[in-house]
Structure 1
Amino acid sequence: MAKSREIKKRMKAVGNIKRITRTMQMIATSKFSRAQQAATASKPYTQALLDLVGQLSRMEGADHPLLSGVSGAENKPELTLIISSDRGLCGPYNGSILRTALRHLRANEKASSGAIEVIGKKGLGVLKFNSIGVDRHHAQFGDKPKLEEVQKLAAQYTERYASGEFSAIRVIYMKYISAGRQTPEILQLLPFKAPETGGAEGAEASTRSLQFEFSPDEASLLEAIVPTAVRTVLFQAFNDAIVSEHVARMVAMKSASDNAGKMGKDLSRRYNRARQA
């Protein structure tokens, strides 16, 4: 009788856990749906802007320090921004990002000797545990970054890079590809890398075949477009990171709910056998 009472207590505890994880799964699913809409809605604009920068950067005489690099800054250290989450219970999400970040910092002397900035308490904790100094912890973004805050951060990075303080600025985050696939990404934010479409020969031929009219001139156009592209790409990285976090938590909580359900069934069978004994 005592054994059956103990099993019944465990059944109740497992049932409570299942209700909690099921609720967390539903919340994560709702947040994922909203974040996914925001992330996918901005991607066509981001891609169109990148294509435009790519075409302009291949034009004869087109040059911009944010594209080609700042003269004299080649040997300067790098700035690395690591985007993690504030909360756990999201499966391998933080582990994958931070393993990638640690490998990058250990293999890249310019990165390890440069400035390291972090978003998310999980990343901050892991870096401190590994005795890696953090120059700045951004706590203002949360799980719904505002465009204005990201633009402000992008403007700071652009200004610091243009001044020659860093040779490069990189962002390590979880890139969202689909609901079933997310991958850690090391994004070179600055110097800004314009995409190459169709190979070098195709791009050159495409550029030669198109006639552009610039008003007022190429330099002024690049001066406006390149900083905008930097802000847009950084905001897209933030959106991807948020979507990836929510889908990881959704999957983790579903797995926890399923495991609790299996454990509950097993305990129920054991309870029935104990009563019949």
Structure 2
Amino acid sequence: MASLKEVRNRIVSVQSTQQITKAMKMVAAAKLRRAQDNILRMRPYAQRLNSILTNLTGLAGGEVVSEYAVQREVNRVLVIAITSDRGLAGAFNSNIFKGVNALVRERYAAQAAAGNVTVMAIGKKAHDYFSKRGPLLGNYTHVFGKLSFDTVRVAAEEAMEGFREGRFDEVVMVFNEFKNVATQVVRAEQLLPLVPAEPNPAATTTSNVDYIFEPSKEEIVQTLIPQSLKVQLYKAVLESNASEHGARMTAMEKATENAGELLKSLKLTYNRTRQAAITTEILEIVGGAEALAASR
């Protein structure tokens, strides 16, 4: 059985850890509120921009050809893995690692065997993990330190340039989509080439509307496509950012609860050990008294 001092030291250690996890939970909750507001504001804009783009390309009837819509045989692949810069967020980062590995195994096994799968790691955890397993494109280890559209735009432009120059035939994003504080879903979305819009029977009445384009249809589409691609990547990063804080808040709450349970167990052990020590001392005193009485 552990001594009283050892149990006392463990109680103090667990109490200190519990205070840290409580503080981290509060910080994550504050950051989550801001991150959740950002993604909730961003989603409608990104969806509307993508809808406008698909409608315009559909109306173009094949007249407008974009360098970002070229369909090629998939020999070289770029996977954009989005994680966090820090840990202590439960399975948040490991789920991305598993998602990327599963994607490569199920969809790009031949390309991986030929060494033609490249990873763009956004977030320090992704960089540390994938740098040991193959080539990386760029260095985006501290995007979340000063998260803004401009910092993500650089990564998007590098991926777009690689596709445009033919160094990659397909670009896929893997990230955690924010659902709520306790739920984050790993998503794999194709960024390039642009996926043609599927015909929507409910929209047949609007597809025959005669639009007036100013400036030209081609110029509008060519301007919107790069902007839309950058926005889609920025949206994925915002989703991951909100998911990170939600996962960390949940993990720290669970850690705080576990620390409380451990404290209860340690205090019970401490009281039992203390009671056993007192009982032993009483028995020793009584035994000594009886020995003295017998010797007289």
What TM-score do the two structures reach when normalised by structure 2?
0.83
Deviation at 1:49, TM superposition (A): 0.8
- With over 3 angstroms needed to count, the CA separation of the structure-2 counterparts of 1:221 and 1:93, relative to structure 1, is same
**In structure 2, distance between residues paired with 1:173 and 1:144:** 19
Percent identical across equivalent pairs?
28
2:136 aligns with: 134
**In structure 1, distance between residues paired with 2:18 and 2:156:** 42
- Consecutive unaligned residues of structure 1, counting only runs of 5 or more, are none
SS of the aligned residue for 1:20 comes to helix
Deviation at 1:63, TM superposition (A): 3.0
**In structure 1, distance between residues paired with 2:245 and 2:68:** 33
Residue 247 (str. 1) matches residue 246 (str. 2): yes
SS of the aligned residue for 2:173 comes to strand
**In structure 1, distance between residues paired with 2:154 and 2:124:** 21
**In structure 1, distance between residues paired with 2:188 and 2:2:** 57
Residue 162 (str. 1) matches residue 164 (str. 2): yes
SS of the aligned residue for 1:251 comes to helix
1:64 aligns with: 65
1:230 aligns with: 229
* Residues 20-62 of structure 1 deviation map (CA, whole Å, 9 limit, x = unaligned): 1111111111111111111111111111111111211221345
Residue 82 (str. 1) matches residue 84 (str. 2): no
AA matched with 1:54: T
- Consecutive unaligned residues of structure 2, counting only runs of 5 or more, are 277-296
**In structure 1, distance between residues paired with 2:169 and 2:155:** 18
Deviation at 1:218, TM superposition (A): 1.3
- With over 3 angstroms needed to count, the CA separation of the structure-2 counterparts of 1:93 and 1:62, relative to structure 1, is farther
**In structure 2, distance between residues paired with 1:259 and 1:2:** 21
Contact 1:172–1:187 (Cα < 8 Å) also in 2: yes
SS of the aligned residue for 2:179 comes to strand
SS of the aligned residue for 1:141 comes to coil
1:191 aligns with: 193
**In structure 1, distance between residues paired with 2:55 and 2:47:** 12
What TM-score do the two structures reach when normalised by structure 1?
0.89
Deviation at 1:92, TM superposition (A): 0.4
Matching of residues 1-277 of structure 1 within 5 Å:
3-59=3-59, 60-66=61-67, 68-69=69-70, 73-107=72-106, 108=108, 109-110=110-111, 113-129=116-132, 131-193=133-195, 196=198, 200-208=200-208, 210-277=209-276
Larger Rg belongs to: 2
RMSD: 2.2
- With over 3 angstroms needed to count, the CA separation of the structure-2 counterparts of 1:16 and 1:152, relative to structure 1, is same
**In structure 1, distance between residues paired with 2:6 and 2:74:** 66
- With over 3 angstroms needed to count, the CA separation of the structure-2 counterparts of 1:135 and 1:148, relative to structure 1, is closer
- With over 3 angstroms needed to count, the CA separation of the structure-2 counterparts of 1:96 and 1:156, relative to structure 1, is same
**In structure 1, distance between residues paired with 2:46 and 2:127:** 29
- With over 3 angstroms needed to count, the CA separation of the structure-2 counterparts of 1:275 and 1:140, relative to structure 1, is closer
Q: How many residues align?
A: 271
